[in-house]
Chain A
Amino acid sequence: MAGILKPPGAFAVTPHKVSVCILIQMYAPPAMMSVPFPFSSVAQHNRFGLYLFALTKSCDDIMEPKLDELINQLREIGDVLYQWLTDQLISRLSSLSSPDDLFNLFSDLRAILGGADLSAVDDEQVVLDPNSNLGMFVRRCLLAFNLLCFEGVCHLLTSIGIYCKEALSSCSAYELPCLDDSSNELEALSEYENMDLENIVFEKVNKEIEARKKASEEVSFHLHAPKALFGLVEDIKVSAVSKSQGGDKCREASPSAHAPNDAMREFDSISGAFLRTNWQMQGYLMEQADAIEKHGSSFSLNAFELILRQLQKLAPELHRVHFLRYLNSLYHDDYFAALENLHRYFDYSAGTEGFDFAQPSIGCNSFGRYEIALLCLGMMHFHFGHPKQALDVLTEAVCLSQQHSNDTCLAYTLAAISNLLSEIGISTTTGILGSSYSPITSIGTTLSVQQQLFVLLKESFRRAESLKLKRLVAANHLAMAKFDLTHVQRPLLSFGPKTAMRLRTCPTNVCKELRLASHLISDFVSESSTMTTDGAFSTSWLKNLQKPMGSLVLTQENVSGKDSNAFQFCAQPSSIPGSVLQLVGSSYLLRATAWEAYGSAPLTRVNTLIYATCFSDGSSLSDVALAHMKLIQHLAVFKGYKEAFSALKIAEEKFLSVSKSRILLLKLQLLHERSLHRGHLKLAQKVCDELGVMASSVTGVDMDLKTEASLRHARTLLAANQFSEAAAVAHSLFCMCYKFNLQVENASVLLLLAEIHKKSGNAVLGIPYALASLSFCQLLNLDLLKASATLTLAELWLSFGPNHAKMASNLIQQALPLILGHGGLELRARAFIAEAKCLLSDPSFSVSQNPEAVLDPLRQASEELQVLEYHELAAEAFYLIAIVSDKLGRLAEREEAAALFKEHVLALENENRQDEVDPLPSTP
């Protein structure tokens, strides 16, 4: 009823609990020896105890298991005992024929609990400690039974009858004499089910059609010419069939998808299914929430929605269901459903249900915690790419949390805002936080977005630290590292004494922040919630029981061995909560990104590999996809496209279901690079357009995609020798990057401009751009980019003629160590060729004296370029080799080089001709 919260954790006696009680009675019969009758060893006895413990804790489903499921589990637990245990259980259950039998059962149960003073009990006897898990369970059952009214006892009796009958109708070995009175009804039930069989079949067919449709939709994402593109990547076939099989598998795995018809399920539920305890359900919902987040859109929408609807029907006051529905629709990009469910959840729960980080004793309880609603709404808008709304809502959240002095929420909100600001390009600072947030507005008017972001990060961090929110602290460290990576620190105050500041980014800061973030793993212990770990442990233990074991053939002798195996491999209770693992994992991912920016290829690869191997099972699929993407990019740059594409194929199979996938992005990137190198420009342009379409049309959203798309566009134009167009695109890109403060991108745009001028033969104009790019690189510590800018500068000098060869050569020598250590194939090849050209144009150098100094780098370059299939540059290398060989009189070598030269030139022309003949290239 409105305004009154139900006391949590109410506990009802159900048939399943009665049978667990009976099993516990067998586990600890009163007045028995240390190992009671049917058990042959202590180990066996303990295993049974562990099983009972897991039964009371596991949270793998919302429904309690039926009797036949319980019997199946018992069969797993011990082959010898199985017969005896089930016989006992069933005979005890079926002997309950009047309310008085139930009363007797529960009064017997009291006897197995030990008294308050355990010292009075002699050692030999098995006594259940009343404070142990099982003891507590028995006590709660006793209490709940004592609280039952007579009607309740009658209901319990009938439902026990149904519970037994259901199980026994499936295994006909047992006869049940004393349940005749209720059998009519049950027969009616089963007949009714048969009657609806048609319906079920129909629904099944429907579902299959739906799954197929879904699969085919997911395959043909948004591309306008998808088949052509997919066909280009040799032998990567995306088959709709395999996907729909995957969908089926999902459905099988989900526990209650077997009841498709609404009405059916209703009857299903009265015929003996009971909800688990509140605790177990909450645990189940938490696990599912993790799973949704982890798997994203590959999580089966409808199956889970069915479970949730059922749960809502059975427990209308369990409001968390609405939140789960919100999450489910959020990750399936259903904006309206998400919005509706979010509002519904907070209307019902007032934000006071189910948030672990808010202690209930703070005192603002009576007003509800609607600021959390705003926080969630803001993050939802962010997720859907509505930055303006998100910012508005989060601003309101800041106001409200200040008003209700909810510091925890404030810290989270500030973190969310800073996340928003760092992800989204905002050009003007006015109106970001309005007049609401005083610490900012006091200095706010003169601050740039970056500085505001910095202040917000600091503020959120300070609060998180003082409130001891460890996860938030770690997340803030990561955000700070990200900020330090790309931003130059400037003094916040525009007046007053200025400390000397080096205007550069500070890699040590990044490193420090990353390290601090990883400290989380050592001190999460104090705030981990035992609920999930405990329940998850029990769940996995039980699941493992049900797994068909290969060693079942070797029975009795091997029992104990099987025990330990099972325990170690499958039920290892992970002592680290998933969220902590995720954070630590993302610190490695960020490390990889940082090294990527600083230009160390091996370290990037190592960190990504660490992430992919150690953290992939704990983190979300999209992050794992990102790691794979990095690795494959690395492959493409260092090993050529062939290997990259074969790796891509594997990754694609793995992440097929992830929507908005980075894998698709990666594929487009690779295709673009390769077609640029091969000279297949029409295709390059098309791929580039596809890439641009992937970005959201809202200003400021998906900035990285937008910059990448236009960068690639400019490069394509450059390759087509349309210099002025290329320069125009690059210019407008530079303006955009400047507007949104994207410094790193600026450096590469400037370099591209230098390249454009170099290639257009206007070296004088190119030099200032190259120098500007160099200084940006220095500022931001982008070493590899700096090396490549140096190389471009050298090439520009070289084009001025032999007089400047010395200068160019010096520049190349400077950059060469880094390029050889960390550069990709293309960069290295370019460096080699440039080096050779320098030598050749140097008047003081004579080829005949030292031919290898020229030929060796050229040979190296040509090898690498052949791997890359970079026809244009390869042709140049072979041309140079041929010329030099000719000079040296090595005719055979000359002929060979000339032949290869011809081959590459022809290949290039071939591609060009193909462009002309076939403007819309279909599958080769």
Chain B
Amino acid sequence: MSSKESCRNELRSAIRQLSNRCLYSAAQWAAEQLVGIEQDPAKYTPTNTRFQRGSSSIRRRFRTNDITSTPVAGVSYVSTPVMEEDEVEDSDFYLLAKSYFDCREYRRAAHVLRDQTGRRSVFLRCYALYLAGEKRKEEEMIELEGPLGKSNAVNRELISLERELSTSWKNGTVDPFGLYLYGIVLKDKGNENLAHTVLVESVNSYPWNWNAWSELKSLCTSIDILNSLNLNNHWMKDYFLASAYQELRMHNESLTKYEYLQGTFSFSNYIQAQIAKAQYSLREFEQVEVIFEELLRNDPYRVDDMDMYSNVLYAKECFSALSYLAHRVFMTDKYRPESCCIIGNYYSLKGQHEKSVVYFRRALKLDKNYLSAWTLMGHEYVEMKNTPAAIDAYRRAVDINPRDYRAWYGLGQAYEMMHMPLYALHYFRKSVFLQPNDSRLWIAMAQCYETEQLHMLEEAIKCYRRAANCNDSEAIALNQLAKLHHALGRDEEAAFYYKKDLERMEAEEREGPNMVEALIFLATHCRAHGRFEEAEVYCTRLLDYTGPEKETAKIMLRGMRMAQSSFPPMDVEHFPP
């Protein structure tokens, strides 16, 4: 990793260059990272650093190992020279065009720059044209919506842009920003291979444009593609790899990368949010909650990624926290899909499913490809017993991303609700294929096999066994395994699983009907096999409970004692004195 100071300098000039080209989101991202670098306490006033530190003690508690100073072995970073602006003096036309652009009058901006030849002006003109085309496309999508769905409106500027950019690419007169634009034009046109090449060229010559990296990331749909990219070793590459790993569901790899990056950018909100995302996928809700609390303390008006936080709060059933969050994002920006989703989650938690559907629908109006809204809406419809609508919603989620195991699982559940277990199995199979370490999925599948209609108990046992092997948090699998084995008359196996279940309940200090059931079975089983001492232990434990089981235990105990004490007397009777 290059020194913090050099990172800082690179980012500072990059922010300026990016905002000169109106690449605002990339500039924003860079600025966030810039502030995320730990400041030198000697240079700044204590108030500054205190603000920055926030409550880092909490966060540090969760950091597994401090890798701040561990450099990755064998990686030598290239230092890309910071690009010099070619037009030091801003031309008047450029200034006018930029102000038009800032007022979102893209075509006007492009028109003003029509005869300018400076690279920056050329880029701005092309970019303005591209955005104008995008805007028109969005409008046309709504205008031309046919009876059978959206029409495929396209950006009509793409063709001329592609022509212009490809000629200047071939001439070698294009700068990295132009390459980025060329890359997205190619991607929109479906020419992905060339888009790869162009985007890689762009990030290699100017690595600070996060937009280019994100476009490249969206093109990396498999690990092979990712590995085949020929990228320079700049520190931005680590950011890229971390987020690409996350996209490819390699959460642990991505987590390592982010933790490594945190060594330099220890206060970056972005990295924190990404770590939270990875932890969320690993189902570590506690940690996610802590991270988000701190994020909100530092950045109270943040909306990005807050839908994930709301999911965590939903899962933990924190009513007031969720309502507080919903209120906050609502006040900040109510027309963001994330905000609608959070409100939908809140209503869903309150059991008002109709209202929650309204908000999910709104989220989908704002972004038709907002994956989690489709899935969540499916859940709501399931709650409302509107299975066809639920199936439709889940199916749309699956068609947007066929690797979304939640939606596959939802489809399976919906069909199971309609008493079509055999049909549902197809979907459960898909979902366990994508997420083989999730016990809930295996349990759902097992329950499907167990239904009266199918009654395929052997298969159910196999599924429960898988569930028990992958850390079944609700402890259903062991109990079910024991029950099934018992029902099939395999008492040894049943006893084994009951004992395991018992041990587990003891470890987790849980009580309940399962406990009683296990104790009773074990007591009877041990007695039947003549292991009276063991049986006595179980019976004695049963005495702590009330109800009919207690009586049964008493009777069993009495019986066993009688039997034990009556054996020797029997001998005595045979031989009277």
Q: Do A370 and B420 form a contact, CB below 8 Å, given A2-B389, A266-B154, A344-B399?
A: yes
Q: Does B569 contact A (CB under 8 A)?
A: no
Q: Do A367 and B154 form a contact, CB below 8 Å, given A2-B381, A189-B159?
A: no
> Once the chains bind, are B152 and A269 in contact (CB under 8 Å)?
yes
Could you tell me which residues of chain B, from 137 to 162, have a CB within 8 Å of some CB in chain A?
140, 143-144, 146-154, 156, 159-160
Report the Cα distance A434→B411, complex, angstroms. 26
Q: Does A571 contact B (CB under 8 A)?
A: no
Q: Does B415 contact A (CB under 8 A)?
A: yes
Q: Closest residue to A281 on the B side, CB-wise?
A: B148
Q: Does A12 contact B (CB under 8 A)?
A: yes
- A406 CB, min distance to chain B CBs, angstroms: 13
Q: Closest residue to A262 on the B side, CB-wise?
A: B190
> Once the chains bind, are B149 and A317 in contact (CB under 8 Å)?
yes
Q: Does A550 contact B (CB under 8 A)?
A: no
Contact among A152, A270, A434 for B154, CB-based, below 8 A: A270
> Once the chains bind, are B392 and A316 in contact (CB under 8 Å)?
no
Report the Cα distance A4→B357, complex, angstroms. 13
Could you tell me which residues of chain B, from 153 to 173, have a CB within 8 Å of some CB in chain A?
153-154, 156, 159-160, 163
Report the Cα distance A95→B154, complex, angstroms. 28
> Once the chains bind, are A315 and B419 in contact (CB under 8 Å)?
no
Interface string of A168-193 (1 = CB under 8 A from B): 00000000000000000100110110
> Once the chains bind, are A347 and B422 in contact (CB under 8 Å)?
no
What's the dominant secondary structure at chain B's contact region? Answer: helix
> Once the chains bind, are B148 and A370 in contact (CB under 8 Å)?
no
Kindly list chain A residues whose C-beta atoms are within 8 Å of the C-beta of B421. Answer: 396
Q: Does B377 contact A (CB under 8 A)?
A: yes
Q: Does A155 contact B (CB under 8 A)?
A: yes
> Once the chains bind, are A12 and B146 in contact (CB under 8 Å)?
yes
Report the Cα distance A339→B364, complex, angstroms. 29
Q: Does B426 contact A (CB under 8 A)?
A: yes
> Once the chains bind, are B411 and A347 in contact (CB under 8 Å)?
yes
Q: Does B490 contact A (CB under 8 A)?
A: no
- A109 CB, min distance to chain B CBs, angstroms: 22
Kindly list chain B residues whose C-beta atoms are within 8 Å of the C-beta of A501. Answer: none
Kindly list chain A residues whose C-beta atoms are within 8 Å of the C-beta of B378. Answer: 2
Report the Cα distance A270→B399, complex, angstroms. 24
> Once the chains bind, are B152 and A350 in contact (CB under 8 Å)?
no
Report the Cα distance A151→B163, complex, angstroms. 29
Q: Does B313 contact A (CB under 8 A)?
A: no
Q: Do A348 and B422 form a contact, CB below 8 Å, given A266-B154, A315-B149, A316-B150?
A: no
> Once the chains bind, are A266 and B152 in contact (CB under 8 Å)?
yes
Q: Does A845 contact B (CB under 8 A)?
A: no
> Once the chains bind, are B420 and A6 in contact (CB under 8 Å)?
no
Kindly list chain A residues whose C-beta atoms are within 8 Å of the C-beta of B426. Answer: 339, 343
Q: Closest residue to B160 on the A side, CB-wise?
A: A188
Q: Does A718 contact B (CB under 8 A)?
A: no
Q: Does B531 contact A (CB under 8 A)?
A: no
- A433 CB, min distance to chain B CBs, angstroms: 12
> Once the chains bind, are A344 and B148 in contact (CB under 8 Å)?
no
- A256 CB, min distance to chain B CBs, angstroms: 15
Q: Does A553 contact B (CB under 8 A)?
A: no
Report the Cα distance A834→B263, complex, angstroms. 103
Q: Do A350 and B423 form a contact, CB below 8 Å, given A2-B396, A185-B156, A396-B453?
A: no
Q: Closest residue to B377 on the A side, CB-wise?
A: A2
Could you tell me which residues of chain B, from 161 to 192, have a CB within 8 Å of some CB in chain A?
163, 189-191
> Once the chains bind, are B419 and A367 in contact (CB under 8 Å)?
no
Kindly list chain A residues whose C-beta atoms are within 8 Å of the C-beta of B389. Answer: 2-4
Report the Cα distance A366→B389, complex, angstroms. 10
Q: Do A370 and B146 form a contact, CB below 8 Å, given A313-B152, A350-B391?
A: no
Q: Do A6 and B148 form a contact, CB below 8 Å, given A188-B159, A344-B395?
A: yes
Q: Closest residue to B360 on the A side, CB-wise?
A: A2
Interface string of A188-204 (1 = CB under 8 A from B): 11011000000000000
Report the Cα distance A9→B411, complex, angstroms. 29
Contact among B147, B151, B156 for A7, CB-based, below 8 A: B147
Report the Cα distance A343→B160, complex, angstroms. 42
Report the Cα distance A263→B151, complex, angstroms. 15
Q: Closest residue to A393 on the B side, CB-wise?
A: B422
Q: Closest residue to B156 on the A side, CB-wise?
A: A185
> Once the chains bind, are A3 and B392 in contact (CB under 8 Å)?
yes
> Once the chains bind, are B387 and A368 in contact (CB under 8 Å)?
yes
- A590 CB, min distance to chain B CBs, angstroms: 33
> Once the chains bind, are A347 and B146 in contact (CB under 8 Å)?
no
Kindly list chain A residues whose C-beta atoms are within 8 Å of the C-beta of B377. Answer: 2
Interface residues on B, range: 35 or more
Q: Does A374 contact B (CB under 8 A)?
A: yes
Q: Does B98 contact A (CB under 8 A)?
A: no
Report the Cα distance A270→B390, complex, angstroms. 33
Interface string of A389-404 (1 = CB under 8 A from B): 0001100100110010
Q: Does B388 contact A (CB under 8 A)?
A: yes
> Once the chains bind, are B419 and A399 in contact (CB under 8 Å)?
yes
Q: Do A314 and B151 form a contact, CB below 8 Å, given A2-B389, A344-B399, A396-B422?
A: yes
- A582 CB, min distance to chain B CBs, angstroms: 29
Report the Cα distance A8→B453, complex, angstroms. 37
Q: Does A377 contact B (CB under 8 A)?
A: yes
- A343 CB, min distance to chain B CBs, angstroms: 6
Could you tell me which residues of chain B, from 415 to 430, have a CB within 8 Å of some CB in chain A?
415, 418-423, 426-427
> Once the chains bind, are A10 and B147 in contact (CB under 8 Å)?
yes
> Once the chains bind, are A155 and B453 in contact (CB under 8 Å)?
no
Could you tell me which residues of chain B, from 375 to 411, have a CB within 8 Å of some CB in chain A?
377-378, 381, 386-396, 399, 411
Q: Does B361 contact A (CB under 8 A)?
A: yes
> Once the chains bind, are A278 and B159 in contact (CB under 8 Å)?
no
Kindly list chain B residues whose C-beta atoms are within 8 Å of the C-beta of A368. Answer: 387-388, 391
Q: Does A253 contact B (CB under 8 A)?
A: no
Q: Do A152 and B392 form a contact, CB below 8 Å, given A275-B148, A316-B148, A393-B423?
A: no
Report the Cα distance A748→B545, complex, angstroms. 74
- A310 CB, min distance to chain B CBs, angstroms: 10
Report the Cα distance A534→B415, complex, angstroms. 39
> Once the chains bind, are A263 and B189 in contact (CB under 8 Å)?
yes
> Once the chains bind, are A12 and B147 in contact (CB under 8 Å)?
yes
Report the Cα distance A436→B421, complex, angstroms. 14
Kindly list chain B residues whose C-beta atoms are within 8 Å of the C-beta of A275. Answer: 146, 148
- B374 CB, min distance to chain A CBs, angstroms: 8
Could you tell me which residues of chain A, from 1 to 34, have a CB within 8 Å of some CB in chain B?
1-4, 6-12
Q: Does A900 contact B (CB under 8 A)?
A: no
> Once the chains bind, are A3 and B149 in contact (CB under 8 Å)?
no
Report the Cα distance A10→B149, complex, angstroms. 11
Q: Does A373 contact B (CB under 8 A)?
A: yes
Kindly list chain A residues whose C-beta atoms are within 8 Å of the C-beta of B395. Answer: 344, 347-348
Kindly list chain A residues whose C-beta atoms are within 8 Å of the C-beta of B153. Answer: 270
Kindly list chain A residues whose C-beta atoms are within 8 Å of the C-beta of B392. Answer: 2-3, 347-348, 350
> Once the chains bind, are A314 and B419 in contact (CB under 8 Å)?
no
Kindly list chain A residues whose C-beta atoms are within 8 Å of the C-beta of B143. Answer: 149, 151-152, 155
Report the Cα distance A400→B419, complex, angstroms. 7
Q: Closest residue to A316 on the B side, CB-wise?
A: B149
Report the Cα distance A396→B389, complex, angstroms. 22
Most buried by B among A3, A318, A348: A3
Q: Closest residue to B426 on the A side, CB-wise?
A: A343
- A687 CB, min distance to chain B CBs, angstroms: 41
Report the Cα distance A270→B153, complex, angstroms. 7
Interface string of A336-379 (1 = CB under 8 A from B): 00010001100110100000000000000011101001100100
Q: Closest residue to B152 on the A side, CB-wise?
A: A313
Q: Closest residue to A373 on the B side, CB-wise?
A: B423
Report the Cα distance A339→B140, complex, angstroms. 36
Q: A1-B364, A374-B420 are in contact. List 5 more A-B contacts (CB 8 A).
A: A2-B390, A3-B388, A275-B148, A315-B148, A347-B395
In the assembled complex, 15 residue pairs joining A and B whose CB atoms fall closer than 8 Å, in A order, are: A6-B147, A6-B148, A314-B151, A315-B148, A317-B148, A318-B148, A339-B426, A347-B394, A368-B391, A373-B423, A393-B423, A396-B422, A399-B419, A403-B419, A436-B453
Q: Which 10 A-B pairs have the closest CB atoms?
A: A3-B389, A10-B147, A315-B148, A317-B149, A316-B149, A347-B395, A263-B190, A2-B392, A368-B388, A2-B393
